[in-house]
Chain A
Amino acid sequence: MTGRGLWITALIAPPLAFVGLFIVYPILAAFAYAFYDWQGLLRGDFVWFENFRTVLFVEPYASRTMNAFSHNIIVFFALMVLQNGMGFLLAYALWRELPGARFHRVAVFLPVVLSTIIVAYLWKLFLHPLFGAVNQSLRGIGLGDFAQPWLGQDSTALWALIIAQAWHMVGFPTLVFLAGMQRIPTDIVDAVRMETQSEWVKITKIVWPLVAPSTTIVFVLLFVGAFNWFELPYIMAGLDGSPYGSTDVLGLYFYRTAFGNVSAAHQDFGLGSALAVLMFLFIAVVASVITVRLRAREIQL
């Protein structure tokens, strides 16, 4: 090897080793583990697709899988509207550079830098049936009848988590959209302003198509985020997705299956790995379909 070859190898080998050992190897190993029977930490026999069959078709696993999966779907679509939809609207408002825009921009991004754990506890405290700020303010403005045990009943629990999540993260799509809008050349904006007075026409015909690259990114990131959602439901509703599994999502179910929990004190790496592989494949396939489909509608400026 030449001196230059050695130098390049010296630069590239250590970072390559880190990524290989702690990212690529674990991901590949997760696929292999899913085909074995596991006794605690010990690997048993090669069982072909038995683990996959169990989590998908054998009760009670199958209905738990479907329950968690359907919640992830709800979370994804709800956040699409609440988080990305609000993000787009806020970005549009910020783009106008109205008085105080700078302050509003700093404020909208502030929750994003907070740890999910802090956000989760904060909202858990706010949603407390008696002490919580949410019910207290409802009582304060004479709407005490609407006070609820938000996290304690299955009709509202998942939605409480979704709203807390949207509060935490709305700043991210906002700023990605805003950056996209700021890249629209001013002569295009001016030309449209001459053509039409309608804000709706301007948004749908100009801004929306031209921020397509931002849309692609926030859609894909939201999709990946919604399908491995874990920390916020774990803190706010618990590892079992209480009450009665109404807040169970794939992330919690996967973790419970792999590492066990208090109520089900056994762990099954085989079933856990099968779930992980299914989630990996689902996320990878759908994320690439979304990317390809959305990239196709992007306009190069």
Chain B
Amino acid sequence: MSTATDNYYDRKGLLATLGRDGMLQIILVANTFIMLAPIIIMVFSAFKTNMEIFQSPFSVPDFSNVGNFVKIWTDTNFLRYLFNSFVVTGTSMVLILTLGTMAAYALGRYQFWGNSFILMFFLAGLTLPLKLAIIPLFMLMRDLGILNNQLSLIFVYTAMGLPTTVFIMTGFIRTLPNELEDAARMDGASEARIMWAIMLPLVRPAMVIAAIQNVVPIWNDFFFPLVFIQNDNLKTLPQGLTTFMGEYATDYGALFSGLTLSAAPIIIIYILLSKQFISGMTAGAVK
């Protein structure tokens, strides 16, 4: 053995004792702790009173003490906000997937004059933040008479979702083989029938990715409701959250239970479908 190697082990540095993998494992465990601890403290605190939060912030609470949740559930518009979020997100997703599939199918399946120009048009808004166009959007919604109306949100979200959807789905649709289509065409099937009965079932995996890419930012969006929606009965969950966080400003248990209730739907879905979520949300970035 060379002396260099001997020295390496003699020194018994941290790296030698733990090994490289040991170091990496420590980093991972520490990071997971940092990621999860705040969420766990949030859930614990939701079951506590102000006094308990102050005296024993990290203790495991008595989970039967659900007074804070009852308060948020019954005294605030929480259910209303949740319902609004479902309506806005659901409608936008249906529109995004329908319109996105239509556009991607036309662009991916047919060669026609202006094809690549139209694709460029769709991709134009891919990295530019639409937030910065909020003044013209506000004026546009006013002129269309849909300020303070959930249609304004649905329209903006649909438009925002289309570039990524068209990008992902056009790429996918182009990879599908022509044979099935040609065979059906020979049998005299109409273009609409070919799309509906033959191609759409094949496109489903790309639709799932597009759906996941869009559902999280739409469900979580706060900025557009902040500008477009004033009426409390129309607010979505992130916007409604600011309302009841204001109401309970000094009741920390209630604040934490409001956060826990708002975070619960997406955390539960994420834990159940983490694999699809992770691949779906990073798909656009990874190509």
Which chain B residues have a beta carbon within 8 Å of chain A's beta carbons? 20-21, 24-25, 27-29, 31-32, 34-36, 38-39, 41-42, 50, 53-54, 57-58, 95, 99-100, 102-103, 105-107, 110, 112, 118, 121-122, 124-125, 127-137, 139-140, 142, 155-156, 158-160, 162-163, 166, 191-192, 216, 219-220, 222-223, 227, 237-239, 241-242, 245, 252, 255-256, 259, 262-263, 266-267, 270-271, 274, 277-278, 281-282, 285-287
Contact present for A19 and B121 (CB under 8 Å): yes
Asked if A114 is an interface residue, CB under 8 A from chain B, the answer is: yes
| In the complex, number of A-B residue pairs with CB atoms less than 8 Å apart | 261
Are A117 and B242 within 8 A (Cβ)? yes
Is the CB–CB distance between B156 and A22 below 8 Å? yes
Docked CA distance A175–B99 (Å): 29
Question: Which residues of the other chain, A, contact B255 by a CB distance below 8 angstroms?
Answer: 121, 125
24 intermolecular pairs with C-beta atoms under 8 Å apart: A3-B191, A8-B106, A11-B105, A12-B118, A15-B162, A18-B95, A19-B163, A23-B130, A104-B31, A104-B32, A107-B31, A107-B35, A109-B278, A115-B241, A116-B220, A117-B241, A117-B242, A118-B262, A121-B245, A122-B259, A131-B53, A179-B282, A228-B131, A254-B132
Partner of A16, one of B38, B118, B256: B118
| A232 and chain B: residue at smallest CB distance | B222
B95 to chain A, nearest CB (A): 8
* Contacts A5-B112, A90-B28, A130-B54; A121 near B241 (Cβ below 8 A): yes
Check if A125 sits within 8 Å of B252, measured CB to CB. yes
Are B27 and A90 within 8 A (Cβ)?
yes
Q: Which residues of A contact B35 (CB under 8 A)?
A: 107-108, 110-111, 167, 171
A26 within 8 A of partner (CB): yes
Which of A22, A98, A284 has the most CB atoms of chain B within a 10 A radius of its CB? A22
Question: Which chain B residue shows the least CB distance to A93?
Answer: B24
The yes or no answer to A64 lying at the interface (CB within 8 A) is no
Q: Are A24 and B252 in contact (CB under 8 A)?
A: no
With the chains together, A108 CA to B239 CA distance in Å? 26
A213 / chain B contacts, CB cutoff of 8 Å: 287
- Shortest B231–chain A CB gap in Å is 17
- Chain A 250-284 interface 0/1 with B at a Cβ cutoff of 8 Å (1 = within): 01001100110000000001001100100110011
CB 8 Å contact bits of A195-221 with B (1 = contact, 0 = none): 000010000000000000110011011
Residues in B with CB closer than 8 Å to A18 are 95, 99, 155, 158-159, 162
Report chain B residues within 8 Å CB of A101.
28
- Which of A19, A107, A224 gathers most chain B CB within 10 Å? A19
A292 contacts B by Cβ under 8 Å:
no
- The proximity string for A residues 151-189 relative to B, scoring 1 for CB distances below 8 Å and 0 otherwise, is 000000000000000010011100110011000000000
Residues of B near A150 (CB, < 8 A) are none
Does A71 reach chain B (CB closer than 8 Å)? no
- Bitwise, A118-133 to B at CB < 8 A (1) or not (0) is 1001110110001101
Docked CA distance A176–B287 (Å): 10
Nearest to A18 among chain B residues (CB) is B159
* In-complex Cβ contact of B133 among A26, A98, A269 (8 A): A26
Pairwise interchain contact A33-B136, C-beta atoms closer than 8 A: yes
A70 at the interface (CB under 8 A from B): no
Q: Return the contact of A93 from the options B27, B136, B162, B282 (Cβ within 8 A).
A: B27
Are A93's CB and B259's CB within 8 A?
no
A111 CA to B199 CA in the complex, in Å?
36
How would you classify the secondary structure of chain B's contact residues: helix, strand, loop or mixed?
Answer: helix
In the complex, the answer to whether A98 meets B21 with C-beta atoms within 8 Å is yes
Min distance, Cβ B154 to any Cβ of chain A, angstroms: 10
Top 10 A-B pairs ranked by shortest CB distance?
Answer: A22-B159, A29-B136, A115-B220, A26-B133, A15-B99, A26-B136, A15-B103, A11-B106, A93-B24, A117-B238
Could you tell me which residues of chain A, from 75 to 107, have a CB within 8 Å of some CB in chain B?
A: 86, 89-90, 92-94, 96, 98-101, 103-107
Question: A12 near B252 (CB under 8 angstroms)?
Answer: no
A14 within 8 A of B: yes
Taking the closest CB of chain A, its distance from the CB of B136, in whole angstroms, is 4
Residue A136 interfacial (CB < 8 Å) = yes
Cα A131 to Cα B166 with chains together (Å): 48
A114 touches B102 (CB 8 A): no
Q: State how many angstroms separate the Cβ of B28 from the closest Cβ of chain A.
A: 5
**Interchain CB contact under 8 A, B135 and A89:** no
Does the CB pair B28–A287 fall under 8 Å? no
